[in-house]
Chains A and B, each alone.
Chain A
């Protein structure tokens, strides 16, 4: 499953259109709205997570672009507090990209930020909340 988080800026002309509805209906994209601020006849913003196959998400994004919705990818930056982490390994079963993994035979839990997709699943899976995700980094998506 391909998961990405986007920051969308809707021009005020689009505020009365059911855009998200079409994303689901036409492109079969699963979504999760993380934040939205949309008012009639005003520019709107939304932080939304898309899940689905890569091709569908790509087409959905190009549909948004055609409507002149500004799309930026929010790359969640996940970091680990090494003081808090007690190296149990619970996160390694949840991490979908293997960024959190066990080093054998010592069974040390390692975190490779380069492999991390920023999905944030580890944040609540960690019993001592050693993982945090922040969205302060905005990266322009390349189509």
Chain B
């Protein structure tokens, strides 16, 4: 027995997608649909809501198997374009992390460092079809006699390449300010002293996990848009923390859930995987991510109708508090306020700037919608769900 008026299964929705009958809306379009028709009517009419986000996402990287040499090698240390990869996996399996800087990078020796090239850039170059230089060192064994190798290769030459990001798509994130008296260069961008600017980084109403705040549909096996290709959610991400303060609509008011995602790198696009250089901080990778949310019932319809004015985040000081792990906030702001270009912090007007691309988030949600309408993409039903919080919409009414 179900408590919902509308009950749809993944199989039913996938059958409608295959028949070309599925009704799909982006998370942006769903806001008005739910407001005008109510969640029950919206759930009856809409089958899938598509979300999207495009931003720098640390905790990204890729596994490669780079192909054997003659004689064979058990690589112990490996560099691609002078960026070191982790080689302690097997003979020629490596993991290249997005935030690894090139070995000859001056880092922050001349502050703030530029961090022009790192793991994220290598991934972008490979996906773009460029040739890279792979260097390896090894000790010799009876079965792996080679002690060094140096070869130029491109992504097509690699027998295996898997984008594997242990933590992506943060469900909400801090709004960063700087109350110290000097400029700071952080992963949240450049922050002027005495709270003269505020940076934020979330797709808000378009963000995947903010449209499924209690992880009812996003779980292990969810098929997604990843880096321009198709990928999967394979676990909850590192630092996934469902037990945070939440709004009455269920969305967290501070950083909460995260996703681990992976997919075949060879079918991805350099348009949606971009190496980034964050001044004074380091290198990383900007990842395009889009998750379809099946509208199984009216509760999920209501969740996906969330808009920026209902999503809140904390204003956190990155000049002193964050580094020293001081749990303090300078108030709460909604994404509607953040998006307006100005917020109030401690009674003072502060200009805001986003670090997450709204334009690209919309494009991803639209692309995913088109894939589903063109019958190219079906929903993956999760085989296991993320750890969630004890929360009920009724309790808060």
Report whether A89 and B340 are in contact in the complex, using a CB–CB cutoff of 8 Å: no
- Closest B residue to A89 by CB, please name it: B354
- Closest A residue to B356 by CB, please name it: A88
Q: What are 11 pairs between A and B in contact, CB < 8 Å? A: A86-B274, A87-B357, A87-B359, A89-B354, A89-B355, A90-B354, A92-B353, A93-B197, A104-B341, A127-B277, A127-B278
Report whether A108 and B359 are in contact in the complex, using a CB–CB cutoff of 8 Å: yes
- Closest A residue to B283 by CB, please name it: A127
Report whether B358 and A106 are in contact in the complex, using a CB–CB cutoff of 8 Å: yes
CA–CA, A136 and B190, complex, Å: 28
Report whether A93 and B353 are in contact in the complex, using a CB–CB cutoff of 8 Å: yes
Residues on A with C-beta less than 8 A from B355 are 88-90
Residues on A with C-beta less than 8 A from B339 are 104-105, 107
- Residue-by-residue, is A88-125 near B (CB-CB < 8 Å gives 1, otherwise 0)? 11111110000000101111110000000000000011
Interface centre among B190, B198, B276, B353 (most CB of A within 10 A): B353
Residues on A with C-beta less than 8 A from B278 are 127
CA–CA, A61 and B142, complex, Å: 74
Interface residue? B97 (CB, 8 A):
no
Q: How many residue pairs, one in A and one in B, have C-beta atoms under 8 Å apart?
A: 75
A88-B354, A106-B359, A107-B339 are known; give 12 further A-B pairs, CB within 8 A: A86-B54, A87-B360, A88-B55, A88-B356, A89-B357, A102-B341, A104-B340, A105-B339, A127-B274, A127-B277, A127-B286, A129-B116
Given A102-B341, A106-B358; A86-B190 close (CB under 8 Å): no
Report whether B199 and A93 are in contact in the complex, using a CB–CB cutoff of 8 Å: yes
Contact of B357 among A88, A104, A129 (CB under 8 A): A88
Report whether A125 and B277 are in contact in the complex, using a CB–CB cutoff of 8 Å: no
- Residue-by-residue, is B170-212 near A (CB-CB < 8 Å gives 1, otherwise 0)? 0000000000000000000110000001110000000000000
CA–CA, A102 and B356, complex, Å: 13
Interface residues of B in 348-368 (CB under 8 A from A): 351-360
Q: Which residues of B contact A (CB under 8 A)?
A: 54-56, 112, 114, 116, 189-190, 197-199, 274-279, 286, 339-341, 351-360
Report whether B279 and A125 are in contact in the complex, using a CB–CB cutoff of 8 Å: yes
Interface residue? A34 (CB, 8 A):
no
Report whether B360 and A86 are in contact in the complex, using a CB–CB cutoff of 8 Å: yes
- Closest B residue to A129 by CB, please name it: B277
Dominant SS among interface residues on chain A: loop
CA–CA, A39 and B351, complex, Å: 47
- Closest B residue to A83 by CB, please name it: B271
Residues on B with C-beta less than 8 A from A105 are 339
CA–CA, A7 and B377, complex, Å: 59
**Chain A's nearest CB lies how many Å from the CB of B189?**
5
Interface residue? A128 (CB, 8 A):
yes
Q: Which residues of A contact B (CB under 8 A)?
A: 86-94, 102, 104-109, 124-125, 127-129
Report whether B56 and A127 are in contact in the complex, using a CB–CB cutoff of 8 Å: yes
- Closest A residue to B112 by CB, please name it: A124
CA–CA, A90 and B112, complex, Å: 16
Report whether A107 and B358 are in contact in the complex, using a CB–CB cutoff of 8 Å: yes
Report whether A125 and B359 are in contact in the complex, using a CB–CB cutoff of 8 Å: no
Residues on A with C-beta less than 8 A from B55 are 88
CA–CA, A109 and B353, complex, Å: 10
Closest 5 CB pairs of A and B: A93-B353, A107-B358, A127-B276, A89-B354, A87-B359
- Closest A residue to B353 by CB, please name it: A93
CA–CA, A143 and B374, complex, Å: 64
**Chain A's nearest CB lies how many Å from the CB of B338?**
11
Report whether A90 and B353 are in contact in the complex, using a CB–CB cutoff of 8 Å: yes
**Chain A's nearest CB lies how many Å from the CB of B62?**
19
Residues on A with C-beta less than 8 A from B54 are 86
Contact of B199 among A90, A107, A129 (CB under 8 A): A90
**Chain B's nearest CB lies how many Å from the CB of A109?**
8
CA–CA, A119 and B56, complex, Å: 25
Report whether B276 and A128 are in contact in the complex, using a CB–CB cutoff of 8 Å: yes
CA–CA, A91 and B352, complex, Å: 11
**Chain A's nearest CB lies how many Å from the CB of B20?**
30
